[in-house]
Amino acid sequence: MPDPTPRPLDQLTERGGAQVPALVLRDRTLSYAELGNRVGLLAGWLANHVDKGSRVASWAAKGELTCLLPLAAARAGLVHVPINPLLKRAQVAHILGDSGSVLLMGTKARLATLEESDVPSSCELVDEADVFALAERQGAVLGPSDNDPQELAAILYTSGSTGRPKGVMLTHANMWIGAVSVADYLGMASDDVTLGVLPFSFDYGQNQLFSTWYAGGCVVPLDYLFPRDVAKACARHGVTTLAAVPPLWVQLTEADWPDEARTPLRRLTNSGGALTVELVRELRTLFPQARLFPMYGLTEAFRSTYLDPELVDTHPTAMGKAIPHAEILVICDEGQLCSPGEEGELVHCGPLVAQGYWQDPERTAERFRPAPAFSRYGGTAVWSGDRVKRDADGLLYFVGRRDAMIKSAGNRISPQELESAALATGLVAEVVAMGVKDERLGHAIHLVVRPATGVKGYEEMLPKALQKDLPNFMQPHVIHWRETLPLNPNGKLDRTAIAQEIGA
């Protein structure tokens, strides 16, 4: 197992060969030596432009700035605040104000959408197209830092299920160990090519950069419009590693994949939602040579579990076991370790645990609490709110979120179980199950569904299929058919928007 001892985040690329490709941009490819020089140039400008410890934000599409800024800000002793480029001005205004960012580097068109009241008086706006020109004009190059790995290096804003986005505080060490862990269990190497399709403002997306560079491989960032763009990029660049969330996997399985796009792929990774049995089957059929890694994580601890690809066919619904350098406990309501088969809360302990929520001690105290006395790591743990079970072989299985469980006619029902059953019929491409308040039942069960491509008669067939596969108390009371389902900025199904639409 690689040495997990954390170092300053800006040193993450030092394992790459000087002339080995590190980053494929639209107009050129940077070697590791060139990548290091550009990071130093950007860090030098930042260090001379703002005070150490300041928060600096980015709001731009994938490119040289968004790829290099996490390392350059860390080298300069700053805190990077990446903002999802899909967010609108109201969310951006909240993030700028909440984080106290003194600099926002963004696409000119995006910056133009901000009103004067959206930007704190202490925050400077800079067109991303001008940043490197300004850095080159200044000419200061900052060498590798000796920053304390325990210092704050990033704040990632996550929307959660309710309320305004909250900022998760991450140190150099949090992100360094995340890179080491993922590169380890994925078996990444210096000849790997990762297609970065996920947002870099998303911890899963950002780790596409970090784990690949730690292994000495190459990253190809991609902002895609259509699923076929992903397949074309895989063919063009000989991509070996592809990460996605379930809604994107659904779209990718519906796209055409020529052999030259599929053959180089060594590994597929999934997080941000569970893969269904049907989707696993489709992915294994479409990419038989690729190892499939189902994973579970939460921004507050980055990544908790992964399922060994050798077990995917026999245990397709399992969450797997703890990733390297993480301890995962299943704790019952009385605070003790659960026995095999007993439902409890997933509690994550160890060095991947974030530092809490930025300037929000109340919500921090709710999620970040002392680890149980029997934890081997101790310290602070993240209490996820997710209900899981561990089987006799140590594999974890997701049951549902405590606050998402549907209680109908006295029964506690997992939305995921309903969704899996609907998808297993083959009539459904995407589905969300929710409880809507009902005077008689407590909650009526609603399904919001996008039908599978090419299927006819689904409106009559789905209820009949579910009646066959589910007990009476789990039958949906209402099925809403939709041509499309909304996605949130991270590409996941937007359950908040769907809930508002149906009155849940």
For 130-189, how does the pLDDT look when each residue is reduced to its tens digit (9 = 90+)? 999 999 999 999 999 999 999 999 999 986 444 578 999 999 999 999 999 999 999 999
Query: What is the spatial order of strands in the sheet that 103-106 belongs to?
Result: 124-127, 103-106, 55-59, 79-82, 152-158, 166-171
61-65, 112-116, 132-136, 399-403: the lowest-pLDDT one: 399-403
Q: In this model, does residue 224 exceed pLDDT 80? A: yes
Q: Give the integer Cα–Cα distance in Å for 435 and 440.
A: 13
Q: Give the integer Cα–Cα distance in Å for 296 and 293.
A: 10
Angle, CA of 70, 73 and 79, to the nearest 5°: 90
Backbone angles phi, psi at 287, to 5 degrees: -125, 65
pLDDT of 160 reads 46
Q: In this model, does residue 350 exceed pLDDT 90? A: yes
Backbone angles phi, psi at 478, to 5 degrees: -140, 135
> Which of 248-252, 269-273, 338-342, 469-473 has the largest mean confidence?
338-342
pLDDT of 163 reads 52
Percent of the chain topping pLDDT 70 = 98
Q: Characterize 74-85 residue by residue with b for buried, 16 or more Cβ atoms within 10 angstroms of its Cβ, and e for exposed.
A: bbbbbbbbbbbb
Domain with CATH 2.30.38.10 in the chain: 318-401
For 79-95, how does the pLDDT look when each residue is reduced to its tens digit (9 = 90+)? 999 999 988 888 899 99
Helix/strand/coil for 411: strand
The answer regarding whether domain 406-502 maps to CATH 3.40.630.10 reads: no
pLDDT of 406 reads 87
pLDDT of 438 reads 84
Which residues, at least 6 apart from 439, have a Cβ–Cβ distance to it below 8 Å? none
Token couple for 277? 């049995």
Closest CA to 181 of 383, 350, 22, 23: 350
Q: Give the integer Cα–Cα distance in Å for 3 and 181.
A: 10
Closest CA to 443 of 396, 498, 384, 503: 503
Domain with CATH 3.30.300.30 in the chain: 406-502
pLDDT of 88 reads 86
Q: In this model, does residue 471 exceed pLDDT 90? A: no
Query: H or E element: which one contains 395?
Result: none
Helix/strand/coil for 262: helix
Angle at which helix 458-469 crosses helix 415-424, to 10 degrees, equals 120
According to DSSP, the residues that pair with 92 across neighbouring strands are none
Token couple for 502? 């149906």
pLDDT of 400 reads 79
Q: What is the mean pLDDT of residues 433-456?
A: 90
Of the pLDDT bands very low, low, confident and very high (cuts 50, 70, 90), residue 440 is confident
Mean predicted lDDT score pLDDT of the chain: 94
Contact 299, 167 (CB under 8 A): no
Percent of the chain topping pLDDT 90 = 83
Select the more confidently predicted residue: 136 or 316: 136
Q: What is the mean pLDDT of residues 299-319?
A: 95
Closest CA to 84 of 112, 59, 104, 113: 59
pLDDT of 162 reads 44
Of the pLDDT bands very low, low, confident and very high (cuts 50, 70, 90), residue 477 is very high
| Burial class of residue 289 (count of CB atoms within 10 Å of its CB; 0-12, 13-18, 19+) | exposed
Q: In this model, does residue 273 exceed pLDDT 50? A: yes
Q: What secondary structure does DSSP assign to 314-383, as a single string? A: T-TTEEEEEPTT-EEEEE-TTSSBPPTT--EEEEEESTT----BTT-HHHHHHHEEEPPTT-SS-SEEEE
pLDDT of 71 reads 98
According to DSSP, the residues that pair with 58 across neighbouring strands are 82, 105
pLDDT of 124 reads 98
Contact 39, 78 (CB under 8 A): no
pLDDT of 437 reads 87
Class of domain 9-172: alpha beta
Domain with CATH 3.40.50.980 in the chain: 9-172
pLDDT of 272 reads 83
pLDDT of 151 reads 98
Angle, CA of 367, 372 and 373, to the nearest 5°: 150
Q: Give the integer Cα–Cα distance in Å for 172 and 299.
A: 15
Which residues, at least 6 apart from 5, have a Cβ–Cβ distance to it below 8 Å? none
Q: Give the fold, CATH level 3, of 318-401.
A: Luciferase; domain 3 (2.30.38)
